Amino acid sequence: MARLYQQGRTKMRRHKVFLFGALALCVLSLLQYCKALHHMLMLRELYDSSVNLKTLGFLWRGNVHSEMRPVPGPRTSDTDQGNAEVGRRIGRGGEDPWGKEQPDSGNVNRMTVTLPDPKGPWGELHKRSFHLRDDPTTFFVHSKSGAYCFREGTEMAFLNDDSGQRVQAAREGQRKILHAQQEELKSDQEKSARGERLVKCMCRQGWHGPHCGIPTMVQHSNLPTKGSLMPRMVPRRVINAININHEFDLLHARFHELADAVDLFLVCESNFTAYGNSKQLHFLHLLLNGTYNYVRHKILYIFLDHFPKGGQQNGWIADDYLRTFLSYDGMSRVQGVRPDDVFLINDADEIPAREGILFLKLYNGWTEPVSIHMRKSLYGFFWRQPGTLDVLSACTVAMLFAVYNGDGISLRRREYFSMPGFRNYQRKSGHILVQWSIGSPVHYAGWHCSWCFRPEGISHKLISAQNGDFPRWGDYIEKRDLNYIKGLIQTGGWFDGLVGEYPPTDPKEPMYAPKYLLKNFQLYRYVLENPYA
Ligand SMILES: *[C@@H]1O[C@H](CO)[C@@H](O)[C@H](O)[C@H]1NC(C)=O
Ligand SMILES: *[C@@H]1O[C@H](CO)[C@@H](O)[C@H](O)[C@H]1NC(C)=O
């Protein structure tokens, strides 16, 4: 008995030793990994300009135009010819077709927007190319003490480099001073921890790092390389690709939110619904009648004029194809793109917060691919759902082409690790690439607002929905009834009869909704406050 007990104990001890050994090994390899990561990042900046632009140019031309054409739909092979024909047909409309559109503009049914006259001032909008240029905005300035500071994130009093700013600093009042002192204390601690002698900036609330350009949503993220972030001398250009149906208010919110962080919006519209029915080009109509004039110079219009084969039977094909076409056609029309520019793809109801995207634009040293933790809500920002929606949305243009073959839908899937080009790309980049997310489960870095329409818009979305996400509520006439839909909005209920159990929200809470909507509260009240409560 005693011997048995003894044996048992020895066994236990052996197990313990083994476990401890394994644990130590784990810790060691983790440390190794961190060290390697740090090292590699120090070695070289992310894709400095020496990355072979020619290789990349070749990738595009080769891939996009020949092998990587979208999955052939019935008309893909003659797309170019087809487009030319479209242009010609539209030509009959006269010199100023969109001008004539306006008297009808209130009547959606009679709206007959086709593509603009190729000889008109707009040219062939859906074939134009866009030349990316460097953003001349001075995001960073040198302070008197020689620090290099992100202008918006730094206390004006600290910069104090001209009288105008001093006046503004005075207006800022006492409130910020206390915070600045705290922030300075913190950055002093950071300094001594890294043993550096660096003139640091004095950050405003919400901004971090020695240059005050790291927003809280990055500071509190799981980015593994926070220690080696550096402001760039020349900002990256950011390309934001989206498909649009009738999310026009959210589109205003996006444009205003991202106008200075994004250099180019690729906006794709189809004359087919996701279900495969014919549909008007509403976005084009708005683009032509001046609704988006404040950002028109940053929009490239993409027209999807066919429906993918099999999309009617399997709606997911149609769903994916929209993103594939958007990325292929869009990126093939962008000139002057650099490997370290950023490609960001969203659904129309996913709006990234400006600060996170601006960070990607202005800093070196983050890894990719990048996802975004978004606040989730239904019917409006008033029904907030628990947790966040964390969607893979961004990577460099280099990664888009080297790993994802230029296809935005692949980026949105979480499979980068097993993509055939990944290992090679990682090796060439000289970094260990790990996915990270802007924001965190408790720090929103954007907004996902599902079904955020007036009741008519929801009904419309039901009818247009793809054929694959079952049950397809648009197939039930009683679910499209406006009074029924109002009831859902009122209670936060869902089409399956479940009633939402959402906590109360307050428009004053941080990150409640995109800033532009809040600023124009009356105009967008229907998504900010429950209209039927
Ligand atoms: C553009 O058209 C839309 C929809 O027809 C209309 O509501 C809007 O007022 C028009 N905008 C301008 C600037 O004409
Ligand atoms: C969409 O536009 C293309 C090109 O103008 C045309 O050939 C096609 O018939 C249109 N489809 C629908 C459903 O309107």
DSSP characters over 241-279: EEE-SS-HHHHHHHHHHHTTT-SEEEEEEESB-TTS-B-
- Given this model, what pLDDT does residue 93 score? 29
If asked whether residues 189 and 250 sit together in one domain, one would say no
If asked whether residues 421 and 346 sit together in one domain, one would say yes
Confidence of residue 21 (pLDDT cuts 50, 70, 90): low
Looking at 215, 243, 276, the residue that finishes a domain is: 215
Looking at 384, 419, 449, the residue that finishes a domain is: 449
If asked whether residues 408 and 336 sit together in one domain, one would say yes
- Given this model, what pLDDT does residue 355 score? 98
Q: Is 453 in the pocket of ligand 2 (CB under 6 A)?
A: no
Confidence of residue 416 (pLDDT cuts 50, 70, 90): confident
If you measure from the C-alpha of residue 107 to the centroid of ligand 1, how many angstroms do you get, rounded to a whole number?
A: 10
At position 507, the amino acid (one-letter code) is: P
The answer to the question of residue 43 being in a domain is: no
At position 196, the amino acid (one-letter code) is: E
Cα distances (Å, whole numbers) of residue 415 to 52, 326, 391, 403: 26, 20, 13, 10
Ligand 1, from 282, 286, 287: best to mutate by most atoms within 8 Å of Cβ? 286
Q: Which phi and psi angles does 270 have, rounded to 5°? A: -120, 155
Ligand closest in space to the Cα of 107:
1
The answer to the question of residue 227 being in a domain is: no
502 contacts 490 by C-beta, under 8 angstroms: no
The answer to the question of residue 78 being in a domain is: no
Q: Token pair of 56, please?
A: 């990349």
* Of the listed ranges 95-104, 374-383, 490-499, the one predicted with least confidence: 95-104
Confidence of residue 47 (pLDDT cuts 50, 70, 90): very low
CB burial of residue 223 (10 Å; 0-12, 13-18, 19+): buried
- Given this model, what pLDDT does residue 173 score? 43
Confidence of residue 57 (pLDDT cuts 50, 70, 90): very low
pLDDT of 414 over the 60 cut: yes
If asked whether residues 296 and 444 sit together in one domain, one would say yes
If asked whether residues 434 and 473 sit together in one domain, one would say no
- Given this model, what pLDDT does residue 409 score? 96
If asked whether residues 210 and 303 sit together in one domain, one would say no
Q: Which phi and psi angles does 379 have, rounded to 5°? A: 70, -20
If asked whether residues 188 and 298 sit together in one domain, one would say no
Q: Is 271 in the pocket of ligand 2 (CB under 6 A)?
A: yes
314: Cβ contacts below 8 Å, ≥ 6 apart: 467, 468
- 180/501 Cα distance (integer angstroms): 41
CB burial of residue 259 (10 Å; 0-12, 13-18, 19+): middle
Q: Which phi and psi angles does 466 have, rounded to 5°? A: -65, 160
Q: Is 138 in the pocket of ligand 2 (CB under 6 A)?
A: no
513 contacts 379 by C-beta, under 8 angstroms: no
Residues flanking ligand 1, CB < 6 Å: 102, 105-106, 286, 289-291
Confidence of residue 118 (pLDDT cuts 50, 70, 90): confident
pLDDT of 144 over the 70 cut: yes
If you measure from the C-alpha of residue 247 to the centroid of ligand 1, how many angstroms do you get, rounded to a whole number?
A: 15
The answer to the question of residue 67 being in a domain is: no
Confidence of residue 526 (pLDDT cuts 50, 70, 90): very high
The answer to the question of residue 477 being in a domain is: yes
**pTM (two decimals):** 0.76
If asked whether residues 288 and 312 sit together in one domain, one would say yes
Looking at 449, 477, 507, the residue that finishes a domain is: 449
- 19/92 Cα distance (integer angstroms): 79
Beta bridge partner(s), residue 131:
335
Nearest to 355 by CA among 158, 160, 208: 208
360: Cβ contacts below 8 Å, ≥ 6 apart: 236, 238, 342, 344, 366, 370, 394
455 contacts 462 by C-beta, under 8 angstroms: no
132 contacts 108 by C-beta, under 8 angstroms: no
Nearest CA to ligand 2 atom 8: 305
If asked whether residues 398 and 252 sit together in one domain, one would say yes
Nearest CA to ligand 2 atom 12: 278
Ligand closest in space to the Cα of 126:
2
Nearest atom of ligand 1 to the alpha carbon of 107: 5
User: What is 61-75 written as a DSSP string?
Assistant: HHIIIIITPPPP-TT
pLDDT, tens digit (0-9, with 9 covering 90-100), for 277-315: 999 999 999 999 999 999 999 999 999 999 999 999 999
If asked whether residues 153 and 210 sit together in one domain, one would say yes
Mean pLDDT of 263-282: 95
CATH number of the domain that residue 384 is part of: 3.90.550
169 contacts 157 by C-beta, under 8 angstroms: yes
pLDDT of 110 over the 50 cut: no
More confident residue, 130 or 111: 130
The answer to the question of residue 75 being in a domain is: no
Ligand 1, from 109, 291, 295, 454: best to mutate by most atoms within 8 Å of Cβ? 291
Provide the residue range defining the domain that includes 173. 140-215
527: Cβ contacts below 8 Å, ≥ 6 apart: 249, 379, 380, 381, 382, 449, 452, 513, 517
Nearest to 524 by CA among 447, 456, 448, 452: 452
If you measure from the C-alpha of residue 124 to the centroid of ligand 1, how many angstroms do you get, rounded to a whole number?
A: 21
If you measure from the C-alpha of residue 331 to the centroid of ligand 1, how many angstroms do you get, rounded to a whole number?
A: 29
* Of the listed ranges 43-47, 180-184, 248-252, 319-323, the one predicted with least confidence: 43-47
Confidence of residue 16 (pLDDT cuts 50, 70, 90): low
Whole-number average pLDDT of the chain: 80
Nearest to 239 by CA among 316, 302, 153: 302
Q: Parallel, antiparallel, or unpaired: how do β-strands 207-208 and 342-346 relate? A: unpaired
If you measure from the C-alpha of residue 412 to the centroid of ligand 2, how many angstroms do you get, rounded to a whole number?
A: 28
pLDDT of 4 over the 80 cut: no
The answer to the question of residue 26 being in a domain is: no
Mean pLDDT of 458-486: 94
How many structural domains comprise the chain? 3
pLDDT, tens digit (0-9, with 9 covering 90-100), for 216-226: 999 999 999 99
Q: Token pair of 252, please?
A: 């205003």
The answer to the question of residue 481 being in a domain is: yes
94 contacts 117 by C-beta, under 8 angstroms: yes
- Given this model, what pLDDT does residue 450 score? 96
- Given this model, what pLDDT does residue 29 score? 59
- 459/485 Cα distance (integer angstroms): 8
If asked whether residues 355 and 490 sit together in one domain, one would say no
The DSSP secondary-structure symbol of 346 reads: E
Q: Is 305 in the pocket of ligand 2 (CB under 6 A)?
A: yes
If asked whether residues 198 and 162 sit together in one domain, one would say yes
